[in-house]
Amino acid sequence: MAAKTVLRIPAGGKFFADKLLWIILFLAGLVGGVLFSGCAGSGPAHEFGYVPGIYEGVGQGYRGPVHVQVQVSPAGIEDIVITGHVEMAYPGAAAMEELLELVLETGSTDLDAVSGATFSSRGFLDAVDDALEKAQKNGG
């Protein structure tokens, strides 16, 4: 029969082992925080390079085109107005309004579609992306 290797903790050593575990976990979290602190959003983005102005974009919704106007500054998205669509009030238009708020809040179109309104959601996000591409190119 093969011998088993067992880690033996002396009497009273459980307290030490528990403390050692917490110290190791704390240090791992500290090191992980330092290593990954620059990976996710780095605060307000000033490197977007948008030419300030209002840009129009269009995307394809479920029932037809979705038109938006996006106001940008060098730091990012300032405002979005849905200027036209032929989506139904629910779920399509409601989903686009929900996404409009999320895009303004996050400054990004990298969002999931609203369940039940996938095509309307994609049409809106594509329209915003279209406007942002124009804002990056040359101001028109």
pLDDT in tens, 37-96: 444 433 333 456 899 999 999 999 999 999 999 999 988 999 999 999 999 999 999 999
Q: Is residue 33 included in any domain, yes or no? A: no
* Mean pLDDT for the stretch of residues 106-114: 95
Q: Is residue 6 included in any domain, yes or no? A: no
Kindly report whether the global pTM for this prediction surpasses the value 0.85: no
User: What is residue 91's three-state secondary structure?
Assistant: helix
Structural domain including 129 reads 53-137
Q: Is residue 132 included in any domain, yes or no? A: yes
pLDDT at position 2 is 60
Q: What is the DSSP letter of 138?
A: T
Count: domains in the chain = 1
Q: Is residue 96 included in any domain, yes or no? A: yes
Choose the most confident range, by mean pLDDT, from 24-28, 49-53, 108-112. 108-112
The CATH code of the domain that includes 118 is 3.90.1010.10
Q: Is residue 123 included in any domain, yes or no? A: yes
For residues 121 and 10, the model is more confident at 121
Q: Is residue 110 included in any domain, yes or no? A: yes
For residues 122 and 44, the model is more confident at 122
Beta carbons of 95 and 117 less than 8 angstroms apart:
yes
pLDDT at position 49 is 82
Task: State the CB neighbour count (10 A cutoff) for residue 121.
Answer: 26
Q: Is residue 46 included in any domain, yes or no? A: no
The terminus-to-terminus CA distance of the chain in angstroms comes to 80
Q: Does the pLDDT at position 98 exceed 90? A: yes
Q: Is residue 2 included in any domain, yes or no? A: no
In the chain, where does DSSP find H-type helix? 13-36, 94-106, 118-137
